[in-house]
Amino acid sequence: MKKFLKITTILLIAIIIVVYIRVANSKKTFETCTIHNIEDISKTDFTKHKTVVVSASSLYESDMIKTLLQGENYRDAWATKVKLPIVFLDTLFGGVEIIKEGGGKQTHSLRIQSKKDGVVYTLRSINKNPEKLVPEFAKTLKLENIVIDGISSQHPYAAPVVARLSKAINVPHTNPRAVFLPKQKTLKNYNEKYGNRLFLLEYETEGKVNWTSYKNVTELVDTEELQELKMDLKTQLKIDRKSLVRARLFDLIIGDWDRHTKQWGWAVSQNDSTYTAYPIPGDRDNAFFTTSGLIPSILTNENVVKELRPFQKDIDYMEGLIYDFDVYFLHETPEEIFIAEATYIQQNLTDEAIESALRYWNDELYALYAKDIAAKIKARRDNILVLAKEFKRVLDTKPLLEKPLKGSDREDVDENKLKCFEC
């Protein structure tokens, strides 16, 4: 027995040493796309081209040891060649102007507005730079690559597929499409940072001009602005709970675990003196989120990072998928609504709709991932009534909020409105 323990200890130490050396020797932290059909982009006039053949990133290339430690994930998707349209800001939608730079801790983005009709769009970078998320201790130990490589768990072209799935069940979407933005004079001071990169071009979830299918919309707002409206309009403003429940159940089906407050916009519709806010889901970076390998398996344990749920045929821990956002907006929502919306999804998210959505990808991406992802979507769809009841059960165990909704930054919310939207 002592000999066995000694050998086991030596093996564990050896594994730890190998893991550390392998991870610490990964130097790269960020990389943009690779262009395959043009040899020298510095000498290329992109106005003479309509499309470009690119791969999103080679940063996530792996060998056997790295795959064992950090998982296979969607590495091949990042490296796969795709043909994408080239866009120029002076001709896009009849010409657009840059409103402001945005983005979160990983994403670079530019908010742009059409000069023709005032509709606001966003260019969101497909390549992520999560360096801001790397803890200081990880930098000191040269373990940044664990965080950086985690982006390989995201499918770079998931969002356009999700939009097509959304359409089948009448869940709003921002109509994202992948594009290549070459360096150009219209980018001005943003040329170096944003030029020659891949982006998702999509509608912005905030703005004065309505691009949604909802009628009589006065404005598109974020959650913080919705709270401000609630304080002014009080009982005159309500949210459409059925739409939000349907959207949240759809999140379960596509494995989008990252649905915090800032991932939502709202279309505010007026009917005489009353107003209804309809949710608009945005930012689908983590749809179809997958993990494998030794390190991700540890991180996705429910006792480590409970929100980080991998996309499998079933949901292993519903507790991690319910946010303060859900408590705030869906408090005391009847179970009948959850059941009705789950039934609607089950009836309308057909096998044909799933197949059609996945066909957005080119043949290479489709061959790599369509069968596996379709099987998971169908399994969750078939089980959505059970999942809806479990979502409702867990939601009902959550206490009302005692501090401002994370991500809204509101500090002056009325004490009752602090707890939930309809309190």
- Supply 127's token pair: 């390549």
- The arithmetic mean of pLDDT across residues 404-418, rounded, is 68
Using CA atoms, how far residue 93 sits from 96, 118, 201, 209, in Å, is: 7, 10, 12, 15
Residue 204 has pLDDT above 90, yes or no: yes
| pLDDT at residue 11, as a whole number | 47
Partners of 257 in the β-ladder: none
d(CA 344, CA 335): 14
d(CA 238, CA 270): 11
The single-letter code of the amino acid at 281 is P
| pLDDT at residue 1, as a whole number | 47
Closest of 343, 380, 350 to residue 253, by C-alpha:
380
- The arithmetic mean of pLDDT across residues 304-316, rounded, is 91
pLDDT digits (tens, 9 = 90+) for 68-109: 888 899 999 999 999 999 999 999 999 999 999 987 666 789
- pLDDT bracket for residue 135 (50, 70, 90): low
Angle between helices 335-348 and 241-254 (to 10 degrees): 50
Please give the residue that has the higher pLDDT: either 83 or 423. Answer: 83
- The arithmetic mean of pLDDT across residues 111-140, rounded, is 81
Q: Is residue 417 within 8 Å of 231, Cβ to Cβ?
A: yes
How many CB atoms are located within 10 Å of the residue 7 CB?
Answer: 10
| pLDDT at residue 4, as a whole number | 42
d(CA 46, CA 183): 9
Provide, rounded to the nearest whole percent, the portion of the chain with pLDDT above 70: 86
Specify the range with the lowest mean pLDDT, choosing from 42-46, 62-66, 116-120.
Answer: 62-66
- The arithmetic mean of pLDDT across residues 53-63, rounded, is 90
Which residues of 33-93 form beta strands (DSSP E)? 34-35, 51-55, 81-85
pLDDT digits (tens, 9 = 90+) for 314-328: 999 999 999 999 999
How many CB atoms are located within 10 Å of the residue 132 CB?
Answer: 9
- The arithmetic mean of pLDDT across residues 281-305, rounded, is 88
The listed range with the strongest mean pLDDT (2-16, 26-40, 150-164, 287-301) is 150-164
Closest of 25, 63, 62 to residue 141, by C-alpha:
25
Closest of 163, 95, 104 to residue 131, by C-alpha:
104
Full strand arrangement of the beta sheet holding 237-239: 217-222, 264-271, 274-281, 237-239
pLDDT digits (tens, 9 = 90+) for 18-46: 555 555 555 555 578 899 988 888 889 99
Closest of 202, 185, 195, 201 to residue 33, by C-alpha:
195
Please give the residue that has the higher pLDDT: either 159 or 410. Answer: 159
pLDDT digits (tens, 9 = 90+) for 212-231: 999 999 999 999 999 999 99
| pLDDT at residue 349, as a whole number | 99
Residues of the chain with CATH 1.10.1070: 212-423
- Placement of tokens 């130490």 in the chain: 13
Residue 413 has pLDDT above 70, yes or no: no
| pLDDT at residue 318, as a whole number | 96
Match domain 212-423 to its CATH number in 3.40.390, 1.10.3470, 1.25.10, 1.10.1070: 1.10.1070
How many CB atoms are located within 10 Å of the residue 272 CB?
Answer: 7
- The arithmetic mean of pLDDT across residues 171-177, rounded, is 98
Please give the residue that has the higher pLDDT: either 128 or 161. Answer: 161
| pLDDT at residue 139, as a whole number | 54
Residue 5 has pLDDT above 50, yes or no: no
pLDDT, the chain, mean:
89
Q: How far does CA 360 lie from the centroid of its chain?
A: 18
d(CA 334, CA 345): 18
pLDDT digits (tens, 9 = 90+) for 266-284: 999 999 999 999 999 999 9
| pLDDT at residue 128, as a whole number | 85
Pairs from 93-99 (Cβ < 8 Å, separation ≥ 24): 93/117, 93/119, 93/121, 96/121, 98/186, 98/187, 98/188, 98/190
pLDDT digits (tens, 9 = 90+) for 344-380: 999 999 999 999 999 999 999 999 999 999 999 999 9
Residue 393 has pLDDT above 70, yes or no: yes
Residue 142 has pLDDT above 70, yes or no: no
- The arithmetic mean of pLDDT across residues 240-249, rounded, is 99
Residue 414 has pLDDT above 80, yes or no: no
How many CB atoms are located within 10 Å of the residue 235 CB?
Answer: 8
